[in-house]
Amino acid sequence: MSADTASRRRLAVFLVAALALLVAPLLAQQMGGSWVRIMDSALLYVLLALGLNIVVGYAGLLDFGYVAFYAVGAYLYALMASPQLTEISPVLAHLFPGGLHAPLWLMIPAAALVSGLAGVLLGAPTLKLRGDYLAIVTLGFGEIIRVFVNNLDTVTNGSQGLSRIDPATVLGVDLSVRHTLLGVEFANVTQYYYLFLAMVVASVLICHRLERSRIGRAWMAIREDEVAARAMGIDTRNLKLLAFGMGATFGGVSGVLFASLEQFVSPQSFGLQESVMIVAMVVLGGMGHLPGVILGAVLLAALPEVLRHVVGPLRQISGDRIDANVLRQLLIALAMIGIMLVRPRGLWPAPEHGQAAPGTRRERP
Amino acid sequence: MSVLPEPAGGAPRAPQAGAPLLDVSGVSKRFGGLQALSEVNLRIATGQVYGLIGPNGAGKTTFFNVLTGLYTPDAGTFLLGGTPYQPVAVHKVARAGIARTFQNIRLFPEMTALENVMVGRHARTRSGLLGAVFRTAAFRAEEAAIAARARELLDYVGIGAYAPYRARTLSYGDQRRLEIARALATEPLLLALDEPAAGMNATEKTVLRGLIDRIRGDGRTVLLIEHDVKLVMGLCDRVTVLDQGKPIAEGTPAEVQRNEAVIEAYLGANHRAVSP
């Protein structure tokens, strides 16, 4: 196969995939908004998994507290785009008589910045830790943030959560209201889908470019052998902090998107279970390999929801003797164990360079 | 390719051949009750292959780890190319101009051979996060230079054909050579090799010897820790012998071989009693 036909074929695959991604929610919304909702949440998980992949997949830092940054982003948007702050602070109420209503386009970079800083702050004390020890400490940090939010009643409303959060508006278009364009009707979840998809595409591009850069190689060198990486002149402290911070920005942005979609946040959304699921997405898909990570995130995000529709009939057959939720959990667990046994490096790991046929070598610019 | 590529900008320049490159004196290191190094002095001239030998446990690797910043010394002064450096952080020593290999090979096993050497360019390049995300012209130019240089170095050590293979799939001898290529990529003033011939067969040793010879021929300075006496004697310009953390002899290989203290350290004080 000549290079020309290969690149033409790649373009064709790309165009088909792009078209499918654009049309999919329009078809799914015919079957009901809940299906598009599943796709929305899958896209959010892809975003989270991409961010965690920088920390776990590239830099090799096992982080079980990643959901903390998701919470930081979500609560930041919730506070800045709901009546909460103006209700508890007369000063703010006086300054903003109409409410804060911070726009989404401002809050996305703000959340990236704030959660990036949080990532650096939480990463700093863990720099000397590796592997399982690091996992335990990050797990603790993740819980600390959740407990903190839960107990900061006056500001965050504690376990009752924050409601009345502004929906996302893009270029003046309120995404929570359905619109009709050129005779095609776009449900609210479908409009969110396009916003999330745009963020995912941008994130994939950023991750892909980081992976093939001096910074990305330094991260991977740290993952492979930290002492050898230092001997190459890599400042492992700074680069680990950069990985923590960079990963956290993705978590924060996902949090903003989540809060704008749900228009409600509460600490229950940011439990340990979420962190574990995101780590599982990265590991199950193929650590450090973008297509694998995306696949893992989509599978693990969509599988429980799809099973929900499958398990219902099973339950009816058994005459309500099987609890649907338990069965669902069991099937997911079995699937994960099965995948890890059969494909220990993940569903779609990075290809073995050089073991591919000659001529298909990866070329570098 | 037979000539080591010229250093690019940003790397420290080596002094004239023959001028002192590394000058360390009074290096001591204690681990609890064990005095691993006491008052070790070492002077290496530019363009030399300098051997550091000694029986097992003599403190060779400890000295290496102190020199490269892995262990913090209790005492000692360190001069590299005439300027003092503090061996307090490994990455700073690497930037100052000492590159090392490891006794037990430490490559980046899941990265390709080419990527391993590209990582070696880290200390001499500067593009950051934003350059990478926006693919600026400067970033692209630097990436191309990094890749080109890495390929040159792979060719230089003779494993250019394995560029796209993962490091862990290379043979033992090739992994050693890859480690040397990666170290050379940092453009070191001093290339420090920790037992490079360990575990090599005769053919691999010959190839390695040729490579070190060539590196010296291209004006680099090499510090060699080695058990293989034949390799050291045949290759080194000067040798220091360590025993129980102290230097007991210094000189050309021929001088050292005749030194009483050295013979004693290697064979024991009573070796004459058993000889006829």
Cβ–Cβ of B123/A232 closer than 8 Å? yes
| B92 CA: distance to closest CA in chain A (Å) | 6
Cβ–Cβ of A234/B100 closer than 8 Å? no
- What residue of B is the nearest CA neighbor of A208? B133
Greater pLDDT, A183 or A224: A224
Q: Are residues B86 and B209 in the same domain?
A: yes
- Average pLDDT of the segment spanning A132-156: 90
Percent of chain A exceeding pLDDT 70 equals: 95
- Residue A361 pLDDT grade (very low, low, confident, very high; cuts 50, 70, 90): very low
**What pLDDT is stored for residue A365 in this prediction?**
37
- Average pLDDT of the segment spanning B56-62: 88
**pLDDT tens across B215-228, in order?**
999 989 999 998 88
State the residue range of the domain holding B209.
18-97+188-276
Domain final residue, candidates B169, B186, B203? B186
| pLDDT at residue B251 is higher than 60 | yes
Is the CB of A227 inside 8 Å of chain B's CB atoms?
yes
| pLDDT at residue B133 is higher than 90 | yes
Whether A346 contacts A286, CB under 8 Å: yes
| B239 CA: distance to closest CA in chain A (Å) | 25
Percent of chain B exceeding pLDDT 90 equals: 66
Q: Are residues B224 and B177 in the same domain?
A: no
| pLDDT at residue A147 is higher than 70 | yes
- What residue of B is the nearest CA neighbor of A243? B129
Q: Are residues B58 and B182 in the same domain?
A: no
Cβ–Cβ of A214/B142 closer than 8 Å? yes
| A213 CA: distance to closest CA in chain B (Å) | 6
User: What is the three-state SS of chain B?
Assistant: CCCCCCCCCCCCCCCCCCCEEEEEEEEEEEECCEEEEEEEEEEEECCCEEEEECCCCCCHHHHHHHHCCCCCCCEEEEEECCEECCCCCHHHHHHHCEEECCCCCCCCCCCEHHHHHHHHCHHHCCCCHHHHHHCCHHHHHHHHHHHHHHHHHHHHHCCHHHCCCEHHHCCHHHHHHHHHHHHHCCCCCEEEEECCCCCCCHHHHHHHHHHHHHHHHCCCEEEEECCCHHHHHHHCCEEEEEECCEEEEEECHHHHHHCHHHHHHHHCCCHHHHCC
| pLDDT at residue A111 is higher than 90 | yes
Q: Rg (Cα) of chain B, in Å, rounded?
A: 19
Asked if residue B1 is part of any domain, the answer here is no
Is the CB of A153 inside 8 Å of chain B's CB atoms?
no
Asked if residue B67 is part of any domain, the answer here is yes
pTM of the model: 0.90
Nearest by CB to residue B133, choosing from A210, A232, A236, is: A210
Asked if residue B2 is part of any domain, the answer here is no
- Average pLDDT of the segment spanning A146-159: 89
What are A351's two structure tokens?
Answer: 């290809």
| pLDDT at residue A123 is higher than 80 | yes
Tell me what ipTM this predicted complex has. 0.90
Q: Are residues B129 and B59 in the same domain?
A: no
Asked if residue A276 is part of any domain, the answer here is yes
State the residue range of the domain holding A208.
33-285
- Residue B1 pLDDT grade (very low, low, confident, very high; cuts 50, 70, 90): very low
Contacts for B267 with CB less than 8 Å, ≥ 6 apart? none
- What residue of B is the nearest CA neighbor of A350? B110
- Average pLDDT of the segment spanning A313-327: 75
Q: Which residues of A touch B165 (CB under 8 A)?
A: 353-355
DSSP annotation of A265: B
Q: Are residues B274 and B153 in the same domain?
A: no
Asked if residue A84 is part of any domain, the answer here is yes
Tell me the average pLDDT of chain B. 89
**pLDDT tens across A271-299, in order?**
888 899 999 999 989 899 999 999 999 99
Please report the residues numbered 163 through 182 in chain B whose beta carbons come closer than 8 angstroms to any beta carbon of chain A: 164-166, 169, 182
Dihedral angle of Cα B79, B81, B82, B86, to the nearest 10 degrees: -30
Domain final residue, candidates B137, B165, B186? B186
Cβ–Cβ of B169/A236 closer than 8 Å? no
Asked if residue A257 is part of any domain, the answer here is yes
Q: Are residues B274 and B211 in the same domain?
A: yes
Nearest by CB to residue A230, choosing from B90, B111, B142, is: B90
Number of folded domains in chain B?
Answer: 2
The CA distances from residue A63 to A135, A199, A204, A210, A240, in Å, are: 5, 23, 20, 19, 12
| pLDDT at residue B74 is higher than 50 | yes
| pLDDT at residue A321 is higher than 80 | no
- Count of residues making up chain A: 365
Q: Are residues B32 and B57 in the same domain?
A: yes
Asked if residue B105 is part of any domain, the answer here is no
Nearest by CB to residue B165, choosing from A214, A234, A354, is: A354
**What pLDDT is stored for residue B146 in this prediction?**
96
| pLDDT at residue A2 is higher than 80 | no
Is the CB of B140 inside 8 Å of chain A's CB atoms?
yes
Asked if residue B4 is part of any domain, the answer here is no
Cβ–Cβ of A217/B162 closer than 8 Å? no
**What pLDDT is stored for residue B5 in this prediction?**
60
Asked if residue A61 is part of any domain, the answer here is yes
Q: What angle do CA B253, B256, B258 make, to 5 degrees?
A: 115
Q: Are residues B182 and B192 in the same domain?
A: no
Q: Are residues B174 and B117 in the same domain?
A: yes
**pLDDT tens across B158-171, in order?**
999 999 999 999 99
- Residue A357 pLDDT grade (very low, low, confident, very high; cuts 50, 70, 90): very low
Is the CB of A234 inside 8 Å of chain B's CB atoms?
yes
The CA distances from residue A290 to A218, A223, B14, B105, in Å, are: 17, 16, 43, 29
**What pLDDT is stored for residue B158 in this prediction?**
93
Cβ–Cβ of B131/A220 closer than 8 Å? no
Q: Are residues B150 and B29 in the same domain?
A: no
Asked if residue B10 is part of any domain, the answer here is no
- Residue B267 pLDDT grade (very low, low, confident, very high; cuts 50, 70, 90): confident
**What pLDDT is stored for residue A52 in this prediction?**
96
Asked if residue B6 is part of any domain, the answer here is no
**What pLDDT is stored for residue A84 in this prediction?**
85
| pLDDT at residue A119 is higher than 60 | yes
Greater pLDDT, A343 or B107: B107
Tell me the average pLDDT of chain A. 87
Asked if residue A21 is part of any domain, the answer here is no
**What pLDDT is stored for residue A216 in this prediction?**
95
Number of folded domains in chain A?
Answer: 1
Cβ–Cβ of B146/A220 closer than 8 Å? no
- Residue A68 pLDDT grade (very low, low, confident, very high; cuts 50, 70, 90): very high
**What pLDDT is stored for residue B2 in this prediction?**
47
Domain final residue, candidates B186, B218, B246? B186
| pLDDT at residue A180 is higher than 50 | yes
Q: Are residues B261 and B195 in the same domain?
A: yes
| pLDDT at residue A354 is higher than 60 | no
| 3-state SS class at A133 | helix
Q: Are residues B39 and B66 in the same domain?
A: yes
| pLDDT at residue A355 is higher than 80 | no
Is the CB of A228 inside 8 Å of chain B's CB atoms?
yes
- Average pLDDT of the segment spanning A79-104: 84
| pLDDT at residue A46 is higher than 90 | yes
